[in-house]
Amino acid sequence: MAGLSLKGIRKNFGSAEVIKGVDIDIAPGEFCVFVGPSGCGKSTLLRMIAGLEEISAGELSIGGRVVNDVDPSERGAAMVFQTYALYPHMTVARNMGFGLRMNGVPRDVVDKRVREAARILQIEDLLKRKPKALSGGQRQRVAIGRAIVRDPEVFLFDEPLSNLDAELRVATRLEIAKLHRQLDGATMIYVTHDQVEAMTLADKIVVLRAGRIEQVGTPMDLYHRPANLFVAGFIGSPKMNFITVETRSQGDETVATLPDGRTLRLSGAQANQVKTLGLRADQLERAQGDAPLTGVVAVVERLGDADFAWVRTEWGQEIAVRFPGGTTPDPDEPLALRLSGRTHFFDADGIALPEVSIAPAKD
Burial letters for 178-199: b for 16+ Cβ neighbours within 10 Å, e otherwise? ebbeebeebbbbbbbbbbebbb
Q: Is residue 144 close enough to count as binding another protein by CB under 8 A?
A: no
Nearer to another protein, 102 or 361 (CB): 102
Residues present in the chain in total? 363
Decide: 313 and 319 in contact? Cβ < 8 Å.
yes
CB of 114 or CB of 274, closer to another protein: 114
3-state helix, strand, coil in the chain (%, to 5): 30, 35, 40
Q: Could you tell me which stretch among 45-53, 115-123, 213-221, 332-340 binds another protein (CB under 8 A)?
A: 45-53
88 lies in the binding site for another protein (CB under 8 A): yes
Task: Name beta bridge partners: 66.
Answer: 61
Supply the minimum distance, in Å, between the C-beta of residue 123 and another protein. Answer: 18
Options 87-95, 117-125, 232-240, 244-252: segment touching another protein (CB under 8 A): 87-95
Going from the C-alpha of 141 to that of each of 159, 305, 310, the distances in angstroms are 14, 32, 40
Q: What is the DSSP letter of 119?
A: H
Instruction: State the nearest-atom distance from the C-beta of 79 to another protein, in Å.
Output: 5
315 binds another protein (CB under 8 A): no
> What is the smallest separation between the CB atom of 53 and another protein, expressed in angstroms?
10
Is residue 60 a contact residue for another protein (CB under 8 A)?
A: no
20 strand-pairing partners: 10
By the rule CB under 8 A, 52 interacts with another protein: yes
Nearest to 136 by CA among 165, 111, 100, 104: 165
By beta-carbon proximity to another protein, the closer residue of 102 and 269 is 102
Phi, psi (rounded to 5 degrees) for 226: -65, 140
Site membership for another protein, residue 146 (CB under 8 A): yes
Residue ranges in 207-343 assigned as alpha helix (H): 219-224, 229-234
Q: Which is nearer to another protein, 70 or 351 (CB)?
A: 70
Figure out which of the listed residues 29, 58, 63, 99 binds another protein, where binding follows CB under 8 A.
Answer: 99
Q: How far is the CB of 261 from another protein (least distance, A)?
A: 57
Is residue 150 close enough to count as binding another protein by CB under 8 A? yes
Interface residue with another protein among 6, 35, 60, 79 (CB under 8 A) is: 79
Q: Which residues pair with 4 in a beta bridge?
A: 26, 62
Interface with another protein (CB under 8 A), residue from 1, 5, 68, 81? 81
Q: What b/e string do you get for 75-99 counting C-beta neighbours within 10 Å, with b at 16 or more?
A: bbbbbbbeebebeeeebbbbbbbbb
Contact between 89 and another protein per CB under 8 A: yes
- Minimum Å gap between C-beta 143 and another protein is 9
Count of residues interacting with another protein (CB under 8 A): 25
Q: Which is nearer to another protein, 98 or 230 (by Cβ)?
A: 98
Among positions 54, 74, 165, 301, the unique one binding another protein when judged by CB under 8 A: 74
Closest separation between CB of residue 47 and another protein, Å?
8
Is the CB of residue 158 less than 8 Å from the CB of residue 43?
yes
Instruction: Pick the piece of the chain touching another protein (CB under 8 A) from 62-70, 73-81, 177-185, 245-253.
Output: 73-81
Assess contact for 151 and 112: CB atoms under 8 A.
no
From the CB of residue 66, how many other CB atoms can be counted at a distance below 10 Å?
Answer: 12
- Residue 244, interface with another protein (CB under 8 A)? no
Q: How far apart are CA 164 and CA 141, in angstroms?
A: 12
One DSSP character per residue, 328-346 reads PPPTT-EEEEEE-S--EEE
State which of residues 14, 69, 102, 360 lies at the interface with another protein (CB under 8 A): 102
Whichever of 88 and 251 has its CB closer to another protein, that residue is 88
Name the site residues for another protein (rule: CB under 8 A). Answer: 50-52, 71-74, 77-79, 81-85, 87-89, 98-100, 102-103, 146, 150
